[in-house]
Structure 1
Amino acid sequence: MHKTSEWLLSFRSEKNLKTPARSLLTDGFKPCNKISITGGKGGVGKTSIALKMAGELAKSGYRTLLIDCDSNLSNTAIKLGLPLDNKFEKLLSGEATFEDVVIQMGNFHLLPACNGSTEIFESKINFDEIIIDIMSSHEHEYDYILLDCPAGVSRDALTLNAFCDHRWIVVTPDKSSITDSYSLVKLLATRFGIKENHLLVNMVQNDKQYQKVVQTLTETIHNFLGVRTHTLGGIKKVEVSAEGFDTFFLSETNNEWHKNFVKLLYGFAEKDGGPTALRTNGVTQMAHEHDVH
């Protein structure tokens, strides 16, 4: 069995199904917290981070829905070793309900989109409006709704990011990733009035590189856009294949990457999504020293 499939199946365990929600969050959180995991450039690790985040929240006892918002190149199911299908088409046409399509594993629910669907390609649907309708209709059922947003600055991506309570912008040290992330923040600010985001730096070699990316991006965003950026932390680059990284990052729990990510997530949740002083070894140690107010 695909190891990440085993990770997904772990949410069926009796312990997970019966675990009550515990106080990871402060009382200031909304009944359902909507968070987008986004980025200006593809290939920065958004989907893996979204899956990891959803998994950790679910294990903490929170009913968590992850929606794959890449309408016709959905790959969340692929990363979990699940068979591909285009059931989402039937949801769009009214032939199926949300409950028919969503994959339920204990507290972790996944709504994959389509992959290579001719019907989706030829349709003129407003995918962003459909996702927002789904969130609005089912938010009372969940503690968290996470969106794995498509990269870039399409209308769908911008609208979905703007609709959420918080945005995790995933960036890598690659110059194009930094530039594209700035463009994303700029359009969110100018078109939707979004003045606050969270930044996660992925695939960093060391603290020095992490600090450089954070300082460059947060100060540029503040100086030119007047937007506040909360730096969540960094994830070190792992010299493995993409599939190997998914297994390593999603399934393993006894390595520094997993431990740092959990601390990063708890830090985010501690103050209603605001920055907190993470004090861990490694990249995440400097997580909030570059917040620009």
Structure 2
Amino acid sequence: MSKGELSHWLMSQRSDFRPSRELDLGFIATNTKTIAIASGKGGVGKTTASLMLAKQLVNSGKKVLLIDCDYNLSNTAVKLGLPLNDNFYSLLSMEKSFSECLHKDGNLHLLSGCNGNSDLFDKSFEHDRFIIDVISEHGNEYDFILLDCPAGIGKETVNLAAYADHRFMIVNPDRSSITDTYALIKILKQKYSVSENHLVVNRVSSQTQYLRVVKSLMDTVSTFLEGQLRVLGPVKFMNTPVDEFDRGLRGAEKNSLHKYFSKIVHKFTDESTGLFENVLNSDFKPSVEQEVQPTL
């Protein structure tokens, strides 16, 4: 498949695709929305964001499939305190059915990746195409499908992000995270003409810092790529030990993390998804002792 054909095929899989000519691509329209959760840099809280977004969508009455697309370095099961498994490889090798490979918690279904599976490491396959095939076959079973993409600008991440109906860029308020996220947005625009993305600023310590990150990215994307960033909001930095944080992530009780992601989901599902002028009215109010010098 040529670069042009691949680009057209990937774009054709999106539910908002409208072909300019008659194509035989086997595409079946669906009401399912696919969201790629991505970041230019690792360690920014992308997997936590994926899990929280999935939980909040379920809480709003939706049925959600979360796919850990880091197929041999999976973290979703670890974050949820689940036993590690090789279900991704079992599905790929057709040893188990799709349903057998899922962890099911009510209306939240998880297809986790493997962790250092040597058979998967040695196997040559297009893992992005495999995931898209899974979505094409089972997408009509869900309201939302979330793709927890590997960090960076690898081919698989770029292809999956281009395929998705929406892209949530998770960024931290530091230069490397912002620079790398812009690089991912730029590659998506140059390769697949993707001009619209959503932005979540994670681990923010002040309103000033948050607004600086938003303005920096929005201005750069608009000026140099003629693209649009829809800002979904901040998530405050929480100085919590990792074990305690993960227990809170697994627990059903509501905490401040749930509050932030509930607002993000509400903003996303609202037709008036916010642009920068709405961000100025954010109710993000860190305490004085958490106020830090912006890193930008």
What CA distance in whole angstroms lies between the structure 1 residues aligned with 2:141 and 2:133? 14
Cα shift at 1:249: 4.6
Is 2:218 aligned against 1:218?
yes
Match in the other structure for 1:275: 274
Match in the other structure for 1:57: 57
Gaps of 5+ in 1: 1-29, 285-293
Match in the other structure for 1:171: 171
Amino acid at match of 1:150: P
SS in 1 for 2:113: coil
Cα shift at 1:252: 6.4
SS in 1 for 2:212: helix
The 5-angstrom pairing of residues 233-248 of structure 1 reads: 233-248=233-248
The answer to whether the 8 Å contact 1:234/1:283 transfers is no
Provide the identity percentage.
Answer: 43
Shift of the 249–114 alpha-carbon distance from structure 1 to 2, 3 Å rule, reads: closer
So what's the TM-score if we normalise by structure 1? 0.82
What CA distance in whole angstroms lies between the structure 2 residues aligned with 1:94 and 1:252? 34
What CA distance in whole angstroms lies between the structure 2 residues aligned with 1:133 and 1:98? 12
Q: Deviations over 1:174-215 (max 9, x none)?
A: 211001000000000000110000010001111001011111
Cα shift at 1:253: 4.6
Is 2:36 aligned against 1:32?
no
The answer to whether the 8 Å contact 1:252/1:258 transfers is no
What CA distance in whole angstroms lies between the structure 1 residues aligned with 2:200 and 2:43? 14
Q: Deviations over 1:73-101 (max 9, x none)?
A: 00101111100011221111111111110
SS in 2 for 1:197: strand
The answer to whether the 8 Å contact 2:71/2:88 transfers is no
The answer to whether the 8 Å contact 1:65/1:110 transfers is yes
Is 2:184 aligned against 1:184?
yes
Shift of the 246–283 alpha-carbon distance from structure 1 to 2, 3 Å rule, reads: farther
Match in the other structure for 2:132: 132
SS in 1 for 2:99: helix
Match in the other structure for 1:81: 81
SS in 1 for 2:104: strand
Match in the other structure for 1:228: 228
Shift of the 254–80 alpha-carbon distance from structure 1 to 2, 3 Å rule, reads: closer
SS in 2 for 1:183: helix
Match in the other structure for 1:8: none
Which stretch has the larger CA shift, 193-202 or 234-243? Answer: 234-243
Cα shift at 1:55: 0.9
Which stretch has the larger CA shift, 30-39 or 135-144? Answer: 30-39
Q: CA RMSD in A?
A: 1.8
What CA distance in whole angstroms lies between the structure 2 residues aligned with 1:270 and 1:253? 25
Shift of the 249–207 alpha-carbon distance from structure 1 to 2, 3 Å rule, reads: farther
- How many residue pairs end up in the alignment? 254
Is 2:156 aligned against 1:156?
yes
The 5-angstrom pairing of residues 252-267 of structure 1 reads: 253-267=253-267
Shift of the 271–89 alpha-carbon distance from structure 1 to 2, 3 Å rule, reads: same
SS in 2 for 1:200: strand
The answer to whether the 8 Å contact 1:32/1:145 transfers is yes
Cα shift at 1:250: 5.2
Amino acid at match of 1:142: Y
Match in the other structure for 2:141: 141
Which stretch has the larger CA shift, 238-247 or 197-206? Answer: 238-247
Amino acid at match of 1:93: S
What CA distance in whole angstroms lies between the structure 1 residues aligned with 2:60 and 2:132? 26
What CA distance in whole angstroms lies between the structure 2 residues aligned with 1:244 and 1:223? 42
